[in-house]
Structure formats: C-alpha cells, structure tokens
A and B are shown apart, each in its own frame.
Chain A
Amino acid sequence: MTLRRYELQEILFSDRPLRRELLEVDLSGKTEKVVTVNVWRNHAFENLKPLIEPYCLFGNWQAIFNIGPYDDSFMFSDWRQADIELLWLDSSRFSLGADWQDWLHDRLGALRAISGAPIILATWADARELDKITVNYPAIYYADLKRVCDEAQVDLLDFRTSKFAGTPVSNHAQLIVARELACHWLPAVVFPPVKAIAIDLDNTLHDGVLGEDGADGVNLSSGHNNLQIYMKSLSRNGIFIALISRNEHIDVEALFTQRKDYPLRWEDFSETEISWGDKSSAIERLAGSLRISTDSILFVDDNIGELVDVAMRLPQVKTVYAHHDADLTRQVIHFFPGIWQWSVKADDAKRVQDMKMNAVREAIGVNASSPIEYFRSLQVALTYFYDSEKQLCRIADLCNKTNQFNLAIRRFNEVELAECLINNDKCVASVQLTDRLSDSGVIAVIVAERRKEQVIVEELCISCRALGRQLESTILLIALRGMCIFEGCHDVVFKVQHGARNQPALKWLADLQGDCDLPSPGLYTVPIQRLLNFQAAEGIDLVKG
C-alpha cells in the first residue's frame, strides 16, 4: 500500500487530474479513520463521490457520505449525527440578493441549532457577502468553488451538461473540487494539523548530490526553487521545517551559506538532522526537540528505501515521495491532509519563532541562580482571560491539538465551547504567555462547570510550547482561582482520562495531590484549600486580560 501510494502521487496531484485515471485508482486496505459527512444539497453530489475516494484513501481515511434528497429549501429533515455537515448549494437556482442572504443566514442558523459538527458551505456567489454570513456562527466555513476553479484556470460552470449531470459544476471543475474537498476542506475540520515537515536535501530540495556534485554543482531548478519558496511560506504559517539528510554537517551548512540563490536559508530550519544514521531515529529526535509527537510529522524524501523504512518503523509518520519534478512534490505536500488550514491564526504563526527562542531560554536558565531570577530576566508574563469569544477558535484548536498536557482528552469543538461561554454555570479560562523573547500566544485552556459546591474541570490543556518552563501550576491554578464559578466552592473535581501521551498532565495532577501514582481514569477530587494555599511562582507578572 505504501509503495502504491507513492506511485499514485503523479496521477492524483497533477495540475489536471484525469477522471478515468482517478476512477482506476485501486488503494484498497484498511484506513486509519472513517469520517461521516451529511450532504445537504440542491444539485448532484453523486458524481464527486468516486473522485473524492482515491484522495481520501491516499490520506489514509475514508469518507462516508449521507446524501440527502434534492431540496432547494434546505430543511435538514431526517438529520442524523455526523462528523461534518456539508451544504452543497447551487446558488444559480436562486435570485441572489439581500433576501437570499437572509434566507441562507437563517438556514445556517437552523443547521447550527441541531448539529454541533463543523459546517462547510460549498457554493459560489459573492465571497465577501458569504464570508459575512458565515462569521455569525461558530465553526461554519465557506468553501468558495469559484475561487479554487479560478486558481486552477478551470471553468466552474458548464450549463451544457447541467441537465444530464444534475449539476452545473463542469466536468473539470468536479475534479478540482473533489480534490479540494478530500485534501483541504474536509480534513481541515476533523484532522489534527501537520506540525513539522522533515525534508531530505539531495534530489529533493535541489537536483543532485552535494557529496558528489559539490555546492556549486547541485542544481536549483525552477521546480526546486518553487518548492523552497513554498517551504518557507509554510514556516511563516507555523509549520516547522526540519532538514534531514545523509551528509556531512559542515558541507550542508556551507552549502546554505554559499548558495545565495536558495530561497531557503539555514536559519529557516527549526531543526537539522544531518548524519549517516538511520532517518527513523533522526525523526524521533526531531519530535523530541520540537516537542511534538511523531504522528504530526510529514517526511519527504526521494529515496523509496528511506521512506519505506520510516513507514515500517514509525507507521504514524506521514510520508511523501519527492519526485524529480519538484513542482509535483510541492503539489503533493500542498494537498497532503493536515497541511492546509481554513485560517492561519496569529498564534500558529508564532510557533516557529517561539521554538527558536527555546535555545536562548535554556541558556538563560543554565546561568540563572534561581527560578525567580530566571523568570525576571525573561520578563515572563501570564495573562488570564475568561469566556473570551475572541479566542474561541484558538481555544478549540488547543482542545483538539493538545496531546501531551491534557487531562480529560475531551475534544471540545467551537460550537460546544460557544455554548459554555454563554452558560453562567460554566467558564472557559484561557492563558496567554509572553516573555521578552517572544509572544507564545494562548497556551492553556480550562473548561469548567459549577455543580452545587463543586467546580468540575471538564478539560484542561497546555500547549507543548509552554511545557518545560516550570509554569504549569501557576498557569492552571491561578486560572482556576480566577473563575467566577470558583467563589464559594468546596472542592475542585478533575475529570481524568488516559491517552497515548498525556502522562505529563497526569503527573502534574498526581504532584498536586502529593501522590506517587498517576491518577486513574474517572473523577479526581482536590480540596479547595489546596488550591487556595498555592503560591504562584515568583518573578512572573500575572495579568488579568
């Protein structure tokens, strides 16, 4: 299956995929995830289904579409639970105007009221108007069919075939839209993002072998130039770029100094692993130093042997074959599920810069005589926010992306969090971390509910970028104490769930209680006095947001 996936990259990610070739794709095998999608529509969606399928299989997932009847009124009858709600709307069947926008706003509200799943509105009309409509509800996304077809230089509509096809979406547009749905729009609302790309050097970022051709002999083709520019843009969006190469370290560093024509500079790499050792071990080391899990890494290499070895030893790592045509490699990365996001939040973009500063922080830590001096010299500040609607998107992201420091693994989505914000018995605390080196953004969330004399902590999580700074208790306990629902309570009850990697959170709770053993799954009660006695770490500026 792994080798077949690499072979298919050329068919799936060409500029103009061919319908016959897509229909011929055979990628049978068990997929990692199954996602259910309710399709509410007023034009045919059936033609897209077989075109979407090969892309989903390539991304190791399967979509099950519950396609509703043709319905111009979008009544959402016979609604059933699904992971995603897709409105597949032919706007040419309506006379567009203010009334239509009001009607659409009303319909989105009706669907939002019955479903907590992310809603994707896939249609074409004035993008500015539709953007205005979708911002009024949480977790509603506008998939602009016209924009993607314009970018692909394909006509969106073809009324010649609409009567037969049941949709005005043209033959070629269907191919482009199917790929967008399977690789961008659907995965971006249900799957965690790729956090790092570990990319090979020789015959991947340039044409040639550094050790044989020398720094002047390796060729930066137009495709490799485009690929490097693309990698740089991903880094600006908060994806770590790591170089993983079998070479001499000194030669590679000299290459990036010497080749001024390379868009990627040495300092653009968040980490480098240059050695003659095996690449799976190098990827594990990368994950450790970047404080991310290996399942959020995409590994790109032109050597099938290396790719297969990594896929066998670390099956959770995603892999992409680097083609001789680097433009094709760029396309494969661009369409790999988890790379594209609906929006790049300011906090995402801060990730790369923030991680770079960790080396400086560590050096300051080594030289500091005490934690107080360390915090003061860094000018660490924690800002506490409560029920912040403005941060809703980031808070949902944290709940869904955090794997190491989360206690209940309760993946709250935007809709559920929005309900918490307006409920007086519930509270959502969020904490922003800054120091003189960087602004880490919102790094922690607590979702809690008051029930009689108890505060129940439904979830708490801290981003991996804030771990290892001895700040966990100050972040969490001060945030809890500042909640309006905290006043007058007798106990705080933490909900505990065991996940694959959430030992740091479990250990923190055990330490809070003075226990040696990690807490078991279930409810874990901490007397209020323990929280009241807690002294925040000295030298930190605590601010109410």
Chain B
Amino acid sequence: MSYTEIEAVVLTTLANIIKNKVDSSGADVVIQQLDSLKHVEFIFAVEDEMGVQFSQEELVDMDSVDKIVTRVMARHEA
C-alpha cells in the first residue's frame, strides 16, 4: 500500500473514532487531543485495519498521522 492509501485508512479510522469528519491538515491536533482511552481505541482500530502490531516503544508517541503511516509502512516492508 502507498503512503496516501495508508493515510486515507488512518484518517477514516480516526473520523470513525471521534464520530466526526477529519482532514489531513487537522488530524494531528485531533490525535493529540484524544483522551487516553480514545487514543488506545484508535490505535487498536488502526492495527486491525492494517493488520500490524506496533511495539510498546512505538505506542508511546503515536501522536501524528505521519508517524503512524510511516510505522505501518515499515511493518509492511518488513
């Protein structure tokens, strides 16, 4: 999957979690404002959608779309 395709999945998943529309320009702020439970829900949903599992170290700073997409790509390449 390309960066853009993964980004689209991440944004759709985020919109689903917050039950509102979200675009790439405002997504990072939304992610950083999620409470801890919603954040976990979001990361779990991304893991489900992309068929990956992030490491404990990675989970600490999953605070932007770019970091998430990059890590998903790395997992897929591996």
Interface residues of A (CB under 8 A from B): 18-20, 23-24, 44, 46-47, 50, 160-161, 163-166, 171-172, 174
Contacts and interface: CB of A to CB of B under 8 A. Distances in A.
A161 B45 contact: no
A171 B37 contact: no
Interface of B: 12-13, 16-17, 36-37, 39-41, 43-45, 47-49, 53, 55-56, 59
B48 A164 contact: no
Most buried by B among A19, A24, A163, A172: A19
B30 to A, nearest CB: 16
B36 A164 contact: yes
A174 B43 CA distance: 14
B37 A46 contact: yes
The 8 A-B residue pairs with the shortest CB-CB distance in the complex, in nearest-first order: A171-B44, A19-B45, A165-B40, A20-B45, A160-B56, A19-B48, A46-B37, A164-B40
Contact of B53 (A160, A163, A165, A174): A160
B59 A19 contact: no
A163 B56 CA distance: 9
Nearest to B53: A160
A339 to B, nearest CB: 27
19 contacts: A19-B45, A19-B48, A20-B16, A20-B45, A20-B48, A46-B37, A160-B53, A161-B40, A161-B56, A161-B59, A163-B56, A164-B59, A165-B40, A165-B44, A166-B36, A166-B40, A171-B44, A171-B47, A172-B48
A544 B48 CA distance: 61
Nearest to A23: B16
Contact of A18 (B40, B49, B55): B49
A24 B13 CA distance: 10
Nearest to B9: A20
Contacts of B44: 19, 47, 161, 165, 171, 174
Contacts of A24: 16
Contacts of B49: 18, 20
A51 to B, nearest CB: 9
Contacts of A23: 16-17, 41, 45
A18 B41 contact: no
B51 to A, nearest CB: 11
A164 B12 CA distance: 22
Contacts of B40: 47, 161, 164-166
Given A160-B56, A161-B59, A19 B37 contact: no
B37 A47 contact: yes
Nearest to B35: A46
A429 to B, nearest CB: 51
B55 A160 contact: yes
Contacts of A44: 37
A171 B50 CA distance: 14
A353 B23 CA distance: 62
A67 to B, nearest CB: 11
A163 B36 CA distance: 10
A65 B13 CA distance: 26
A24 B45 CA distance: 12
A164 B17 CA distance: 17
B13 to A, nearest CB: 6
A160 B43 CA distance: 13
Nearest to A49: B37
Contacts of A50: 41
A235 B45 CA distance: 39
Contacts of B59: 160-161, 164
Nearest to A160: B56
Given A19-B41, A160-B53, A160-B56, A171 B36 contact: no
Nearest to B12: A20
A165 B37 CA distance: 6
Nearest to B37: A46
Contacts of B36: 164, 166
A44 B17 CA distance: 18
A20 B15 CA distance: 10
B34 to A, nearest CB: 12
A183 to B, nearest CB: 20
Contacts of A46: 37
Contacts of A171: 44, 47-48
B39 A164 contact: yes
A266 to B, nearest CB: 45
A220 to B, nearest CB: 34
Contacts of B13: 20
A167 to B, nearest CB: 9
Nearest to B36: A164
A174 B39 CA distance: 15
Contacts of B45: 18-20, 23
A165 B13 CA distance: 18
